[in-house]
Copies of this chain bind each other. A is one copy, B any other.
Amino acid sequence: MKKIHEECGVFGIVTLSPEPLAHTVYCGLFALQHRGQEGAGITVNDDGVFTTHKDLGLVDHVFTPQVLAGFPHGTMAIGHTRYGTTGGNQRRNCQPMEVNHQKGKMSLVHNGNLSNAGKLRSVLEQRGAIFHTTSDTEIIAYIITQARLQTDSIEDAVRLAVPQLEGAFSLIVMSAQKMIAVRDPNGFRPLCIGTLHDGGFVLASESCALTAVGAEFLRDVEPGEMIVLTNDGKMHSDKRFTKTAPKRSCVFEYIYFARPDSVIDGVSVHAARKKAGRLLAQTHPVEADVVIGVPDSGLDAALGYAEESGIQYGIGLIKNKYIGRTFIAPSQNERVSSVRLKLSPIRETVEGRRIVLIDDSIVRGTTSRRIVSLLRDAGAKEIHMRISSPPFLHPCYYGTDIDSEDNLIASHHTPEEIAKIIGADSVGFLPLETLPQLADTDEICTACFSGDYPTAVDRDESKDRFERKIHG
């Protein structure tokens, strides 16, 4: 039902001696599953011999015990969970992308979106390159490979390549001897590093994946930073190798994408969501009997709203925990909507009450209308919907797949009109100007709400990307 998607999760690990690393990467990817549910992959580096397995599907479908057992032990490995925006959902677009070249092996994973992908691809094709995938990752692989022709050092090749990339990228490149992590100069997408007790390192899109594999959070990779890890337990940082740009981390990571137990750029996602709830209570107060959240991402904000307003917090909607990515509501059944199969109201909490209902966003309004209707059927007296983000109004060029502007309900309607459309008594959005309070900083990207893009953006580029989709 949700129409907003993140592009991916990345993971890397370096140890001092060989281990069954595929199992560890599996655990890390499992913790990053929410960032991409359409494909998964792992490359293990066993003393320069690379073994890659990747496929469409959830992490635990792709990596069965048999598949995991087929990986060798190794001292470095990377992994990826994929949500595919460009080029559809095809097996060949899964990552890591392994490159065998006479200058040496390389495998890479990427979270983000290049805003100059079309131009880069066009130039490469004009030089005779052929592309097997429609993903940005193959473009990055080419750019790095061409840089390698000029240098024997993989680090120098990355140094030469990265300044050519524009947009959002959190990247991990593994060669036979090194693991290199790079975050784009604006720092759109998160990337952090942790340490293992025995001296190794872990890289991950979110800190929850460090926790999952028993690593200790060290720090975020900084925007515009390159980190180089080796098997002797050394870590080098280079912050001056590419252009500088103002930090602009994606605020929607806090609102929806990231897991509440992650800490991004020093701010707890759970705390940011509770803060959003508090801000909603301050800016859109209402008289009511109970505050309930739409599970799972509305629960933290609901608790914040309840605490700030003094209205009782309640558990009013249950999510069927067997709803998986593969769940398809059987189409022939006229009795049942898919919202009804996913969410169920607790009448005890709802009946005869005035309700504040907290959700993270409204895209088209269809889901919200169905949830309001479920609660009305369960006897709710009033329903005041509060959204823990501002209205979506603009496309994102940095890795979020927002529905087209035509479909966005807030493009065409005021909150009052939206309330009428979805059947709520009132609707209130988080004010745009409060967003810096969520992340404790104004170094955030709010482009999808404000239209204020941190980088030059070429709308034709976007069109070109769309056309590639068509061929792809």
Distance between Cα atoms of A103 and B34 in the complex (Å): 38
Copies of this polypeptide in the complex = 4
The answer to whether A128 and B99 touch across the interface, beta carbons within 8 angstroms, is no
* Minimal Cβ-Cβ distance residue in B for A50: B471
Q: Decide yes or no whether A321 CB sits under 8 A from chain B.
A: yes
Q: Give the residues from 439 to 472 in chain A that come closer than 8 angstroms, CB to CB, to chain B.
A: 471-472
Q: Decide yes or no whether A171 CB sits under 8 A from chain B.
A: no
Residues of chain B within 8 A (CB-CB) of A259 are 318, 344
Would you give the shortest CB distance from A408 to chain B, in whole angstroms?
26
Q: Decide yes or no whether A75 CB sits under 8 A from chain B.
A: no
Q: Decide yes or no whether A232 CB sits under 8 A from chain B.
A: no
Distance between Cα atoms of A344 and B131 in the complex (Å): 40
* Minimal Cβ-Cβ distance residue in B for A147: B128
Question: Are A23 and B332 also in contact (CB < 8 A) when A131-B100, A321-B296, A341-B31 are?
Answer: yes
Partner of A344, one of B31, B100, B122: B31
Q: Decide yes or no whether A303 CB sits under 8 A from chain B.
A: yes
Q: Decide yes or no whether A287 CB sits under 8 A from chain B.
A: no
Q: Decide yes or no whether A30 CB sits under 8 A from chain B.
A: yes
Q: 1/0 contact trace for A80-117 toward B, CB 8 Å?
A: 00000000000110000001111101000000000000
The answer to whether A344 and B300 touch across the interface, beta carbons within 8 angstroms, is no
Residues of chain B within 8 A (CB-CB) of A92 are 92
The answer to whether B102 and A341 touch across the interface, beta carbons within 8 angstroms, is no
The answer to whether B130 and A141 touch across the interface, beta carbons within 8 angstroms, is yes
Q: Which residues of A contact B (CB under 8 A)?
A: 20, 23-24, 26-27, 30-31, 33-34, 37, 58-60, 63, 65, 68-69, 91-92, 99-103, 105, 122, 125-132, 134, 141-142, 145-146, 149, 196, 208, 211-214, 259-261, 263, 268, 270-271, 296, 299-300, 303, 307, 312-315, 318, 320-322, 324-333, 335-336, 340-341, 344-349, 471-472
Task: A31-B344, A102-B122, A130-B145 given; name 9 further pairs at CB < 8 Å.
Answer: A24-B333, A33-B320, A60-B324, A69-B332, A99-B130, A128-B129, A128-B142, A212-B344, A322-B324
